[in-house]
Structure 1
């Protein structure tokens, strides 16, 4: 199996590249945002619990997110592995993910791919996306810069953890989409 943790700040092209990795290697993407939406929409016990925190403007505790992730990994799949997107964001979540992958899939995290893009390019990309996406958080430069800063602050400790394990690889996220995809594919091929 191939189990990828995909990192990239807002605007780095992570969504596009995740789709290309999925097609190339027959992977299943698990996005925490999708998990929240699915569980809340379907009124699951975990969804109701998550919603109770979100409605109060609080962060959903790691334990709730981890349980949703566990449920998703347990579902039968005909894929060759997973792309974890938006999780882990903390050292505790990284440890929880290692445990889930080991206990449920009898496997390990294969690699952490991190798309690296200069902040000014990220801001430019997000402002451009905001013109067509209708997302208010993509149309205000101050909010965009705060999101980027928060991303780095949150993911720094997780990146360090994967660096220590020799599983962290940075890939330049600037250039033609296909060229970036080829770089990511090459990194995954090395660990297959």
Structure 2
């Protein structure tokens, strides 16, 4: 299957992408991983992307599109893939359609993870990270530390990252609504969008997603 995963920040896209890709035996292709890999390997695209990032500018769509195209042409992606973070806007969605059409392929589904905005803010703004080890993550509501402000694992100080503040989260949601959400309407016109609730436990959300994807495959 060739799937695009969409949803607002805090919807759990990264977590669900990993589980779904494993269940479907297809590679999980995220833009974050693409940028890190290309920059680490010092590819021409990586160097170009880094030059924009170092200057504090957004990486142009054509660079992101070229990275995605290169990754989707790798042998492990020939039988399908799950895209996470790409396409990020309608221009990228059109470019993706054109890329696939040139190869005689098309997308099978756009999986839209739906989460109420207040829940997104609660999920992200409630995160607390250990200053000693960023892998130690807690949540004031869902995974509270035994002692307020103190990491259960190493005793380090727990703090809220600047990009997890409610103000920043709401700004990120505005960007999502303005730039990324329009691709849902773009793909709805093609009959590709399936929407599921991303509320509940991780395995419950995965089960919902697998059910609608299996149903979509069966309907074809």
TM-score normalised by structure 1 residue count: 0.91
Q: Per chain length, whose mean CA-contact separation is higher, i.e. which structure has more relative contact order (CA < 8 Å, sep 6+)?
A: 1
Equivalent residue, structure 2, for 1:112: 110
Task: Report matched runs for 1:11-160 at 5 Å.
Answer: 11-77=10-76, 80-104=79-103, 106-131=104-129, 132=137, 136-160=161-185
> How far apart are 1:139 and its partner, in Å?
3.1
Q: How many residues in Structure 1 have an aligned counterpart in Structure 2?
A: 190
Q: Secondary structure at the match of 1:5?
A: strand
Task: Indicate the SS of the match to 2:49.
Answer: helix
Q: Deviations over 1:49-102 (max 9, x none)?
A: 111111111111111111111111111117741111111111110011112223
Do residues 184 (structure 1) and 209 (structure 2) align?
Answer: yes
Find the structure with the greater CA-based Rg. Answer: 2
Per-residue Cα deviation, 1:18-55 (whole angstroms, up to 9, x for no partner): 11111211111111111111111111101111111111
Structure 1 runs of 4+ aligned residues shifted over 6 Å read: none
Note closer, same or farther for the CA distance 1:81–1:129 as it changes in structure 2 (3 Å cut): farther
Alpha-carbon offset, residue 141 of structure 1: 1.3
- 1:77 is paired with a residue of what secondary structure? helix
**1:164, 1:151 → 2: CA distance?**
20
* Pairing of 1:164-179 with structure 2 (within 5 A): 164-179=189-204
Residues 25, 80 of structure 1: 8 Å contact kept: no
* Post-superposition CA distance 1:146-174 (Å, at most 9, x none): 11221121112211111101111211111
TM-score (norm 2): 0.80
Provide structure 2 residue ranges, at least 5 long, that are not aligned to the other structure.
130-136, 139-158
Give the superposition deviation at 1:135: 7.5
